[in-house]
Chains A and B, each alone.
Chain A
Amino acid sequence: MNTVANDTPIITITLIDGPLGVSCAALPLLGDGACTVGAALKFEGIVRAQEGERVIAALNYEAYRPMADRLLEQLAREVCIKHGLVRVAVEHSVGRVAVGECSFRLTIDSAHRVEALLAMGEFIDRMKIDVPLWKRPVFHNDVDERASHER
């Protein structure tokens, strides 16, 4: 886990091999930071069974590192500053994640709900444009794979 914790905000970026399990990064803040938090949001991206018209077994995620880590951190910092957030914790899978499992988790803490809700959408939209991460569907017949360009 790459942790950037100056005074505030608290930013953590974690790329994990395989599905995301329970994470310390998504736990409620404790200590001084918790005193300023009035809104705590958590978004989890789950692998769907359906890819277009077809049923898939999993998604295979690929990252160009360390560029992906650095851009995630830069993006988290930018949305923190813009919206005055207390914390942004980003967790993303690389490798195979089966249907029903979590591949992306974004945790945002802020003083009020409005800035957290805005930041949540903005972060995800920008991540899907700029951060070098790719996913490829894995079908039940492993030979039959194709690239996904979905956003």
Chain B
Amino acid sequence: MKVKVLLFGPERDAVGASSVVVEVAHGASAADVLGALASQCPSIANAVRAARLAVNGEFAQRDRRVLENDECALIGLVSGG
């Protein structure tokens, strides 16, 4: 299945896009989505390893199952304030 992952901040700048669509198996976990993202976008692979995936606006545990229409977002190092 295809999962769209939103990108922000330095990761978006590095990829040059505000989102990336990754291909993962049905029943894939948040960790699988992050792995697919790192493989597809080597320029942010290191950042992805330290980042969290948000699914539908909530930080996801690595084993959380992801569905095709879920809103996924890569949350790397944040820098508010």
Interface residues of A (CB under 8 A from B): 45, 61-64, 66-68, 70, 92, 103-104, 124, 127-136, 146-151
Sampled A-B contacts (6; CB under 8 Å): A61-B80, A64-B54, A70-B57, A128-B80, A130-B78, A151-B77
- CB-CB under 8 A for A67 and B73, given A136-B9, A136-B13, A147-B10: yes
B69 close to A (CB within 8 Å): no
Interface size class of B (residues with CB under 8 A): 10 to 19
Listed residue (A62, A132, A149) with the most chain B CB atoms within 10 angstroms of its CB: A132
- How long is the Cα–Cα vector from A50 to B72 in the complex, in angstroms? 34
Which chain B residues lie closer than 8 Å to A62 at the CB level? 8-9
Q: Which of B57, B75, B80 contacts A92 (CB 8 A)?
A: B80
* Interface membership of chain B positions 46-60, coded 1 if the CB is closer than 8 angstroms to chain A and 0 otherwise: 000000001001110
